[in-house]
Amino acid sequence: MKTLSNDSILAKNIKKGNRKAFRVLFERYYKKLLDYAVTYTHNLHEAEDIVQQTFITLWKNRLKINTEKSVKSYLYRITYNTYIDTYRKQKKRDAFFNELKEQALRERITEDPEALEKRIIKLKNIIETLPEQCKQILYMNKFQGLKYKEISEQLDISVKTVESHMYTAYKKIRKAFKEDNLFLLFIYKYVFKQ
């Protein structure tokens, strides 16, 4: 469709909430942005998540699009910023799990570092399967160091709701490690202390 061929026209239409224009822009730049993201992540799956998030961000912030500037440059900038944000969060997560591992070894939770590594991987996988808000609250508490009250203010929910999500997370983790009482006690002490 000729009226939707120019990036500038697409940007103006997206700003007005035109989903068709958004779709055209998505199809035009998805592969290019994916190739760009892969140069940073070296992982196709992570790059796909980043590019998906790029387009979600573009749509959410469509009213802020400066139609006088290149929408292509804007997309690349969002992609890069999303990568940086993802990378920082990943570093915090890795640091948390490494610290957990060191603490477990110090407390002699296991004499076998390989078995401990498997337990940490299992814990990571369980956390990844939590409902989205539950996982977000756990991350905010553990990786960002926020107190329940701070989380409730940021997410505009009650402290009781935060506590409920943390309880849900602990229940799922407890179920997965029910045969491993020592590690479960350790998790409770270091992951769920407020």
pLDDT tens digits, residue range 9-46? 999 999 999 999 999 999 999 999 999 999 999 889 99
Q: Tokens standing for 66?
A: 């400066």
- Do 185 and 112 reside in the same domain of the chain? yes
Domain's final residue, options 86, 121, 139: 86
- Do 77 and 129 reside in the same domain of the chain? no
Alpha-carbon span 53 to 72, nearest angstrom: 16
pTM for the model stands at 0.54
- Do 127 and 179 reside in the same domain of the chain? yes
Residue 50 sits in a domain whose CATH number is 1.10.1740.10
pLDDT tens digits, residue range 67-78? 889 999 999 999
102 neighbors 81 (Cβ within 8 angstroms)? no
In a domain, 115, yes or no: yes
Alpha-carbon span 104 to 65, nearest angstrom: 49
Where in the sequence is the domain holding 79, given as residue range(s)? 6-86
Domain's final residue, options 86, 118, 142: 86
